[in-house]
Amino acid sequence: MGVALATTFVIAVGATTMRYTVVIKEMNMLFNAQVMVTSNDSIIIQAIPIGGSMLPQDRTLEMVRSITGVEKAVPILFTIPMGVGGIVQPVPINFSFGIPVTDWQLILGQAPLKGSNGHFPTNESSNEVIVGVSLADQYNWAVGTELVVNGYKLNITGIVDPKLAILSRSVIMPLELAQKVYNYPRSVNIISVKPTQGYSQEKVAEAIKQNVAYVNALTDEQRNDIIQPVLAQVETWNRGIQAVILFMSLILVMTVTIMSVSERRRDFATLDAIGAPLNYVFRVVIIETLLIGVLGGLFGIVSGSLSALVLASLYTNIPLAQFFPSILDIVPPLYMLMTFSAVVGVCCVGGIIPALSATRMRIAEVLRAEY
């Protein structure tokens, strides 16, 4: 039971931490090979601006497009819901993207629409939107469902099934519609810039910062550098917690096995007296600890995986039932195998000292004391 509880804790905490780290790293894929331009007072988490000022769309686009090395510049409005008192929620319920209808592929790539009756909005001034599959499943949205956002009626024309978690939780709409719905007329907070062939991201980003004083321009590498120290600390803490838990499991197994060997001194001495080889007792103790590790590890992996789903549901406010189909994404099979192997190995190591102690007992003294 102790090993199972330890394994449960390792799986639940480790898997959810790794999943959040993966999701955060995935955000940078939104503007892969692009220079991301935002206001210079924005806080950037991978490719997501948090807070900061809006950029005047027409003026900023005109200056950015005039810079040598800029092949294409696409304005984007990205919003996230606010909590009580205007505080940004640590795990937003959903995101919203406003993108010019001619540039959907910049965000979505080749992500397919779910079903055969959906289509992408084609008009900037329409009230048509598409939504991520996770949001659609949670709220039972379908093509043709009408949404009301900030008093505006929006019609879902497609449900997109992307690979990125952030897009599966997004409402994506034409840029002009998003600016009207969220009351940011002719304003954006991201401009995605594609460098001309032969120009590096670094060179284009530096030129943009020199020519447009109120913006910050970040390359793929710079966006990673901003958040990487935080992610490294999270991963270090995660590994440290797992090491401590496994060490405690080692001590637990060793203590229990020592007690078990002590209680069976008479049995082991009797086996030795009737001619059982010394390594027989050693193998008995090691196999017992191996079984403790195998059974505890299996129970722990099952309960830990379920606990990871519960934690993910609590953190994201997404119904628990939605996580079951993606349980292997949250708790990867390789991580299960690595944890199981570590638990079994720790239990076997914990049985070595008691097993050696059992083989070194003095038979005559034990028999005299026990009988």
What does the pLDDT read at residue 190? 93
Q: How do residues 168-217 score in pLDDT, each as one tens digit?
A: 888 999 999 999 999 999 999 999 999 999 899 999 999 999 999 999 99
What does the pLDDT read at residue 369? 58
| E strand spans, the chain | 35-39, 43-45, 48-50, 55-56, 70-79, 95-99, 128-132, 146-149, 152-160, 170-174, 187-188, 190-195, 215-218
Token pair recorded at residue 63? 């200056």
Residue 223, judged by CB atoms within 10 A of its CB (0-12, 13-18, 19+), counts as buried
Token pair recorded at residue 143? 């093509």
Choose the most confident range, by mean pLDDT, from 206-210, 273-277, 286-290. Answer: 206-210
pLDDT(235) > 60: yes
Question: In 3D, which of 111, 136, 126 has the Cα closest to residue 178?
Answer: 126
What does the pLDDT read at residue 69? 92
CB of 358 closer than 8 Å to CB of 288: no
What does the pLDDT read at residue 364? 57
What does the pLDDT read at residue 88? 40
pLDDT(150) > 50: yes
pLDDT(227) > 50: yes
CB of 215 closer than 8 Å to CB of 42: no
Q: How do residues 47-71 score in pLDDT, each as one tens digit?
A: 888 878 899 999 999 999 999 999 9
- Tell me how far apart the terminal alpha carbons of the chain are, to the nearest angstrom: 34
Q: Which amino acid is at 289?
A: T
User: CA 307 to CA 290: how far, in whole Å?
Assistant: 25
Q: Please, which pLDDT band fits residue 83 given cuts at 50, 70 and 90?
A: very low
Sign of the torsion angle spanned by Cα atoms 25, 30, 35, 37: negative
**DSSP one-letter string for 261-309:** HHHTHHHHHHHHHTT--HHHHHHHHHHHHHHHHHHHHHHHHHHHHHHHH
What does the pLDDT read at residue 87? 39
Predicted model pTM: 0.73
Q: Please, which pLDDT band fits residue 360 given cuts at 50, 70 and 90?
A: low
Percent of the chain at pLDDT exceeding 90: 28
What does the pLDDT read at residue 323? 83
Q: How do residues 19-58 score in pLDDT, each as one tens digit?
A: 878 877 777 778 888 899 999 988 888 888 887 889 999 9
For tokens 């503007």, the residue is 31
Q: Which amino acid is at 124?
A: E
In this structure, what DSSP letter does residue 324 have?
G
Q: 313: which residues sit within 8 A by CB, 6+ positions away?
A: 319, 320, 322, 323
Token pair recorded at residue 8? 């449960």
3-state helix, strand, coil in the chain (%, to 5): 60, 20, 25
What does the pLDDT read at residue 90? 44
CB of 98 closer than 8 Å to CB of 76: yes
Segment among 178-187, 246-255, 296-305, 324-333 with least mean pLDDT: 246-255
Residue 84, judged by CB atoms within 10 A of its CB (0-12, 13-18, 19+), counts as exposed
